[in-house]
Amino acid sequence: MTPDSAPILTAHRAGLLGCRSCGRVWPEGQETCDRCGADLVPPDRRGLQKVWAWWAAGLIMYVPANLFPMMRTQTFAGLQGSSEATILEGVVELMHYGNYDIAIIVFVASVIVPMAKFLAIAWLARVAGRPATVEQAHTRLKIYEVVEFIGRWSMIDVFVVAILSALVQLGFVASIHPGPAAVSFALSVAFTMLSAQSFDPRLIWRGLPLRSRTGTEGQD
Amino acid sequence: MDAQDSFDLTTGRGLMACPRCDALHVEEELDPGETATCIRCGGVLAKPRGGAFTQLIALSFTTVVLMMGAIFFPFLEISRMGFGNATSLFGVGMAFADGVLLPLVLAVMMMIVGLPVLRAFLLVYTLTPLAQGRAPYRHAARAFRWSELLRPWSMAEIFVIGTAVALVKVAGLATVHLGPAFWAFCALILVNLASRGFMCQTTIWDAIEDAGLHTDGREMVQGRVS
């Protein structure tokens, strides 16, 4: 019996409720897990409201994060000019100095990854609980795991701004100050992380057919 | 699995649901070194390691010691044309200490220092009595649950990569000296990785439960199964 050919008994189908925090199983209707104290939530689409709420908050915060400057660089007390750079301008500047590898890292970490995260969470929340094949479910779970893993790494940008602003304080020669985008970017990352955490991966498996099409008779 | 009464489909006793896909499993005692994976999604359900509790306690203490070093030693130093500036970890946090950015000070300090230390203390609090085979302290379950909840928000390793990026950006502008705090943070990554290798949530939850908290007699059933 391979996992892909036969339906698998889930806690939900058995009329039970699994704890997402510690894995302990309780009868349906119980509200909190007696072992770890976490709230027990049934795997249904109602939980997606939370995902969408955090998702929207993250997306809203992502707009000012790109429009406002991330940091302000001042050289020679502003005589040589002071420049304000948004995220994209920062990437362009890095490329201008020939740091292509770092430019790519920053571009991927602060532009590609957030965008891909928004798209991936939205897609996961759209298709969650809809009919799917086992292969599709595996793909969706993989995508969810990647999103969950990668989410926190976007915080890199905020740390870079903090380190640079603390370090580059050379008075007359050069100084760097953080810009308002840093705070909205940090919030956007945090909200997206919360959105991904609110997503219940068990929903991915809810849409699987109860019996496989090849005529396997149902299980216990 | 052979014992008929090792699990109960009406109360959920002796069963475990995969947190990722909800597939039901019958709980069995694993030997140290064995790994249990979910039959449906393949996720790791449990991977007990011999002496893991002691190792985790030791690694938590290491985290705290390294973090103390990281706080009090200089972090980075730059100089150019006779102008120089050094910063500590607090300096990095305080970089946001003006105007609308003020809340970020707290957030950054929590993410790079506060939460790693807090998690280390929570883990020591949970595991010390368990490693000695005694009953867990009060609220051990809550302490461990919080430690797990805070895991994604403790970002020391991300901070180190951020430092690397910042160093490359500064390299053209001035000369940079790395302080002991920087190396302490690099060591923290290794400690983190080692800690992750020994961490098995399922085993710790079972230990908390079997050592006297919220018990329902299941530990005797497990004894019969193993």
pLDDT digits (tens, 9 = 90+) for B129-188: 888 888 888 888 889 999 999 999 989 888 988 888 888 878 777 788 888 999 998 999
The domain containing residue B11 runs over which residues? Answer: 1-48+215-226
CB contact under 8 A, A193 and B152: yes
- Do B8 and B89 lie in a common domain? no
A1 Cβ contact partners less than 8 Å away, ≥ 6 residues apart: none
Q: Is the Cβ of B1 closer than 8 Å to some Cβ of chain A?
A: no
- Amino acid in the structure at residue A146: V
Q: How far is A201 from chain B (nearest CA, A)?
A: 5
- Do B35 and B78 lie in a common domain? no
Reading the block at residue B109, the tokens are 């300090």
- Do B63 and B26 lie in a common domain? no
- Amino acid in the structure at residue A57: A
- Chain A residues closer than 8 Å to B146 by CB: none
What does residue A85 show for φ and ψ, rounded to 5 degrees? Answer: -120, 125
- Do B37 and B69 lie in a common domain? no
How far CA A19 is from CA of A24, A205, B209, in Å, comes to 5, 16, 14
Q: Is residue B207 part of a domain?
A: no
Q: Is the Cβ of A98 closer than 8 Å to some Cβ of chain B?
A: no
Domains held by chain B: number: 2
- Do B101 and B181 lie in a common domain? yes
- Do B94 and B150 lie in a common domain? yes
- Chain A residues closer than 8 Å to B173 by CB: 168, 174
| pLDDT on residue B217 | 43
pLDDT digits (tens, 9 = 90+) for A125-177: 988 877 778 888 888 899 999 999 888 888 888 888 888 888 887 777 778 88
Q: Is residue B208 part of a domain?
A: no
In the stretch 162-191 of chain B, residues with CB closer than 8 A to chain A read 162-163, 165-166, 168-170, 172-174
- Do B79 and B13 lie in a common domain? no
Q: Is residue B185 part of a domain?
A: yes
Q: Average per-residue pLDDT in chain A?
A: 82
Q: How far is A119 from chain B (nearest CA, A)?
A: 21
Q: How far is A192 from chain B (nearest CA, A)?
A: 12
- Chain A residues closer than 8 Å to B165 by CB: 102, 105-106, 156, 160
- Do B152 and B60 lie in a common domain? yes
Q: Is the Cβ of A166 closer than 8 Å to some Cβ of chain B?
A: yes
Mutate which of B6, B8, B21 to disrupt the A interface (most A C-beta within 10 Å)?
Answer: B21
| pLDDT on residue A55 | 95
Q: Is residue B204 part of a domain?
A: no
Nearest CA-CA partner of B191 in B201, B203, B199: B199
- Do B80 and B164 lie in a common domain? yes
Q: Is residue B38 part of a domain?
A: yes
In total, the C-beta contacts within 8 angstroms joining chain A to chain B are 222
Q: Is the Cβ of A77 closer than 8 Å to some Cβ of chain B?
A: no
CA distance B153 to A81: 38
Q: Is residue B210 part of a domain?
A: no
Q: Is residue B206 part of a domain?
A: no
The list of chain B residues with pLDDT below 70 reads 1-5, 212-226
CB contact under 8 A, A22 and B12: no
- Do B224 and B143 lie in a common domain? no
| pLDDT on residue B19 | 86
- Do B58 and B44 lie in a common domain? no
CB contact under 8 A, B205 and A24: yes
- Do B20 and B126 lie in a common domain? no
What does residue A191 show for φ and ψ, rounded to 5 degrees? Answer: -65, -40
